[in-house]
Structure 1
């Protein structure tokens, strides 16, 4: 199994882009950390939801001189039962070099876990281990409205 196949709903990303993208120059728009109790005995299962903007960059140039971005989208990921969470440099533009995924064997259970790394590009980086992952949804990217001055 390839590491992205560990993520439930990974087919939605492949259907949108035609492949599993590297997310080079993608941008983390939102991170939500949650430790709310979600199991019958009241135990907390820490999770992180990440909204990641991604696209496929074409070889052709747009009118503004930049490469055209195809299928510019925001993918909402949910990672649950996370551990070893690290976050650094969250700022006004959280560009990543890539989204790196690696399957690892958990020593205690022998089950697969997913090591997730949003690789550093400009100040921002994030890494953690998740026992479960899902693509919640994927939507076309829409520019945020201009702020009111």
Structure 2
């Protein structure tokens, strides 16, 4: 699987030894922030990689999103990142709980 264009991904790769698949990891926090006036909003996901570490993905300048099913447990089946027209598209497939997509200018 190609490594997505995520800012500071090298730190996570160095810590884990590879880019994680996120399979069976759990989204423990979902936060929406309006951003500063005249800018697009921000969405932050905190993901617990099965007790190994907590990863925060910050989607900056969010253009669109479709998220559904956030509840007491949000187990990831797969996360895919694609780039198109200068934007990052993140698809979240679930085993249980939150699923959907986020389209943003960048991910940090």
The question of 1:91 aligning with 2:75 is answered no
Partner of 1:125: 99
**What is the rounded CA distance, in whole Å, between the counterparts of 2:53 and 2:92 in structure 1?**
17
Partner of 2:40: 45
Of residues 81, 84, 107, the one that matches 2:61 is 81
- Structure 1: segments with no counterpart, 5+ residues: 56-68, 107-111, 135-149
Q: How many residues align?
A: 107
Q: Residues 1-149 of structure 1 correspond to what in structure 2 (within 5 A)?
A: 2=2, 4=4, 6-37=5-36, 42-55=37-50, 72-104=52-84, 106=85, 112-134=86-108
TM-score (norm 1): 0.66
**What is the rounded CA distance, in whole Å, between the counterparts of 2:40 and 2:63 in structure 1?**
10
RMSD: 1.6
Q: CA deviation at 1:126?
A: 2.7
When Rg is computed on C-alpha atoms for both structures, the one with the higher figure is: 1
**What is the rounded CA distance, in whole Å, between the counterparts of 1:31 and 1:123 in structure 2?**
12
**What is the rounded CA distance, in whole Å, between the counterparts of 1:54 and 1:98 in structure 2?**
13
